[in-house]
Amino acid sequence: MTQLDRDQPVVYRPAEDSGLLAEAAIAGAHGRVLEVGTGSGWVAEQIAAECDLDVVGSDRNPHAAREAYDRGVEAVVADLLEPFRADAFDTVCFNPPYLPTDPDNEWDDWMEQALSGGESGRAVIKPFLADVDRVLAPGGVVFLLVSSLTEYEAVLELVTAAGFSHTVAREASFPFETLTVLRLEAVDNSDA
């Protein structure tokens, strides 16, 4: 069991990446929405308020799910997409843990889990992309935040391998990284 240090935050706070994901989702979300890794629930709350959509938040961290719920977001404790049924959502949003982290320097706490993307920064992106099509309804979209720290081209290869086309929904550069929100749509190979 992860120990809690009451002096340290245990839930990811909204930052530049959160704002960028919220902007992209507000501009393009439709139908029933899932925000994976909701953290404080701020992004889900923005989407629900601005788009008047039914939004569900999920997070592995029970403290995050509770905080999102306290914001008025229907929230569940979940590991990525595991508990959700097929075709359940028209829009899925995800700001994954993406910071490349040396495994010898990782801490076993909730904030580390919210930030660390493993050695490549893509450790959580890969299983997410492998399963997101299952929960996505026909005609659904995914908004995935990607950092330049995760080797952008490598993420695009994972996106293509998972059967999605992609466009840039939002992008912003900072001194230490460029953040991009990709809009993903399933590629229809029925005519192939």
CB atoms under 10 Å from CB of 163, counted, come to: 15
Q: Per DSSP, what are the bridge partners of residue 147?
A: 179
pTM for this entry: 0.87
The alpha helices in the chain, defined as continuous H runs, are 16-28, 42-51, 62-70, 110-115, 125-135, 152-161
Question: What pLDDT digit, counting tens, does each position of 74-125 carry?
Answer: 999 998 999 999 999 999 999 997 665 766 665 565 455 655 556 666 778 9
Question: Order of strands across the sheet with 33-36?
Answer: 74-77, 55-59, 33-36, 89-94, 136-147, 178-186, 164-173
Residue 108: closest CA among 38, 151, 60:
60
Question: Which pair of tokens denotes residue 185?
Answer: 């749509």
Question: What pLDDT digit, counting tens, does each position of 126-149 carry?
Answer: 999 999 999 999 999 999 999 988
Please report the pLDDT score of residue 132 as a whole number.
97
Please report the pLDDT score of residue 74 as a whole number.
95
Question: What pLDDT digit, counting tens, does each position of 32-73 carry?
Answer: 999 999 988 999 999 999 999 999 999 988 888 999 999 999
